[in-house]
Structure 1
Amino acid sequence: MPKSYSAMMRAIAVDNSLPIEKAAVDLWLKDLNNPLRWIVRPVLQLIFVMLLHLVWLFKRLPLPAFSAHQSLQKLICWFCIHFVKKEANLLILRHYATESNVLNFLIENSHHRERDTLTPVAPVNLYPKTIKDMLGASFVDHDQCLFDTFADLGPWEKRHHPKTDIKWEYWQPIQMDEFEVEERWTQCLDFESAHALFMCLFCLLLTKEEYRDAINGFNLDQSLAIRIGQIIGDPSLSNMAYNQYPLYFVGPWNLGQRFLMHGFFTEHLYAELESYRTRGEKRK
């Protein structure tokens, strides 16, 4: 444990009360310990939060709608490769994997009905291993997979007893050595500072509906936790969801915190399910 860690950070480093993998905790603490987070991030957030609301207003003017998904993804990947710290890039790649696994677990273990005919819902296949992989596995696709999963599964059939035949065919345990992130001397920004810079670009280069849906998609965390909690018989999972009540649409205010808490939620839920899976394998 680095000597530069504060007393609070040393406590967090060994606290395993919440389900979260040590690899994610180590990356996050290293990211928190970046001095620029405490110097640059507050300034960036102050400036770009105001700019974000101006862009949000601009996109809602009665003007022709426009979007530029490929340009957005190319700019983000280029920026991440050159200016975002390695640990922050690894956290981004982990988030793709954690959310894809959570959605695939739900898909594989739900009863669903599509167009009134029982058909399988396609699994999510967004598991980028490098930042360049995200050119194909775009952030837009990442959001759309979440919405499509809920739409394709249809109304939830509430369970009163845990599922006994849990399936894991689509599950891909996260192996940190599979991720490849090149370190460069120009990489200096932490996760939250990078997000402060990205959020205005997202708002500008997505349509107003795409961006509104993306920042409100976090509220489906509660629904995910409720459904998965009923599948494995653990209703306490819903307590992990900071973002709740998907019927209540909000604007970009407090976006940085809501975005970050969504990341923690998926890490917690992934770790809980991975622990559940490994316990099941040991019992066999």
Structure 2
Amino acid sequence: MNSVDPVELLSNAPHDPRDPDPWVAMFLDSSLPMNPRAKASLLVDQRSRSRQFLLPLIRIFSRLSVILLQVLKTVVPNRFTSSKLLHRLLSWGMRTWVSPEANYLILRHFHVGSELLGFIARNTPELNVPVNPLLPTNMEHVKDEIFLKHDLNLYNFVIRLNRALRDQERTLAPPARLDFSGISDAFPLEPMPHRWTNFLDLQSAIELFTPLYQLFLTDRDFWRASNSLQLDETIAIYVATLLQAPGLVALVNNRHPLVPLATMEAGFRLVLHGLSAENLHGFLVECKHGRMPQLARVVSAGLQVTKPSGSQAA
């Protein structure tokens, strides 16, 4: 079964001035930098019937399950934990039930996150902070505990970066030459499954996966995964500091990492986490091509920009 290209679907949608399509309006709006296919996939996913009719019911079931599992975990802590089994279930669930647009956004997110951390590391070479890129191309790669590794990467990066700054008695500062060589225009993702069963939207899938997360991860792993979402603000501050563009932080919706939010809100916040990462990455892509006014301000301040010789293929 062939999937309709979400970009073409929204780009070629008819326009009735008496009944304008809000999803088309949001797709055509260019006020926020974002990859066109990622943006179209998100909007097509958001307007799906699954999100409209199933999500409200799934959210109730999910949050009740989280409460019950939290009580269970206090009685039998770590009894049923298995990260490997969890990721096998997630891989099967994505391949069998999740929509092509949602799967595309999920797999793309690991590439985006890896490139954001890589950009910071590449522009602070004196700190020698290691990174562990996660570059899945299909659902089989999910089985390699990729969600857990994603969370570990974030915390390990923040710890190593700031320990290096402390040990060298430095503060994060813009480099003499900005390096955008690790920022890609597109990622080499394989076609997503598109059977009749692949109908579940992104938010509904996340809400259903959240109780599985809590059941099969240790309480410490689940808490860390939930609150890693608020590191969006931290990563955005790092990038904004390197670019001397403080307005970047306004693109972030998950904030205040010092004050963790309830884990029951993790489903919605995870979608915001993905959107914030996409906007931040989209900004860097625009800067790489010299299309953002903030970049002109960086250059006028005396910094030089290193552009890659070419971009990766889609």
What is the TM-score of this pair, normalised by structure 1? 0.89
**Is 1:126 aligned to 2:134, yes or no?**
yes
1:12 corresponds to: 26
Q: CA RMSD in A?
A: 2.4
Amino acid at match of 2:270: F
Cα distance change, pair 33–63 in 1 and its aligned pair in 2 (3 A): closer
Could you list the per-position Cα deviations for residues 211-270 of structure 1 after superposition, in whole angstroms to 9, with x for gaps in the alignment? 101111111111111111010110011112211121212331322221111111000011
Contact persistence 2:77–2:219 (CA under 8 A): no
Cα distance change, pair 220–177 in 1 and its aligned pair in 2 (3 A): closer
2:132, 2:178 → 1: CA distance?
18
Contact persistence 2:84–2:145 (CA under 8 A): no
Partner SS for 1:212: helix
2:140, 2:172 → 1: CA distance?
41
How much does 1:90 deviate? 0.2
Partner SS for 1:53: helix
2:275 alignment partner, one of 264, 267, 273:
264
Cα distance change, pair 283–110 in 1 and its aligned pair in 2 (3 A): closer
1:189 corresponds to: 200
Structure 2 residue runs without a partner (length 5+): 1-9, 291-304, 310-314
Partner SS for 1:253: helix
2:20, 2:215 → 1: CA distance?
39
1:182, 1:126 → 2: CA distance?
21
Structure 1 residue runs without a partner (length 5+): 114-119
2:85, 2:49 → 1: CA distance?
31
Please give the residue correspondences for 1:20-59 in structure 2 after superposition, counting only pairs within 5 Å: 20-59=34-73
**Is 1:83 aligned to 2:94, yes or no?**
no
Cα distance change, pair 147–78 in 1 and its aligned pair in 2 (3 A): same
Contact persistence 1:225–1:238 (CA under 8 A): yes
How much does 1:40 deviate? 0.7
1:68 corresponds to: 82
1:238 corresponds to: 249
Contact persistence 1:31–1:87 (CA under 8 A): yes
Could you list the per-position Cα deviations for residues 155-190 of structure 1 after superposition, in whole angstroms to 9, with x for gaps in the alignment? 554456x43312245x25152564332321211111
2:112 corresponds to: 98
Cα distance change, pair 282–204 in 1 and its aligned pair in 2 (3 A): closer
Q: Quick one: percent identity of the two aligned structures?
A: 25
Amino acid at match of 1:252: T
How much does 1:271 deviate? 0.5
When structure 1 is superposed on structure 2, of 14-23 and 242-251 the one drifting more is: 242-251
Runs of 4+ in 1 over 6 A off after TM superposition: 281-284
Contact persistence 1:220–1:244 (CA under 8 A): yes
> Would you say how many aligned residue pairs link Structure 1 and Structure 2?
276
**Is 1:149 aligned to 2:161, yes or no?**
no
1:275 corresponds to: 286
How much does 1:135 deviate? 1.5
1:81, 1:278 → 2: CA distance?
35
Contact persistence 1:97–1:126 (CA under 8 A): yes
Cα distance change, pair 6–37 in 1 and its aligned pair in 2 (3 A): farther
1:116 corresponds to: none
How much does 1:149 deviate? 0.7
Cα distance change, pair 261–63 in 1 and its aligned pair in 2 (3 A): closer
Contact persistence 1:111–1:153 (CA under 8 A): no
What is the TM-score of this pair, normalised by structure 2? 0.81
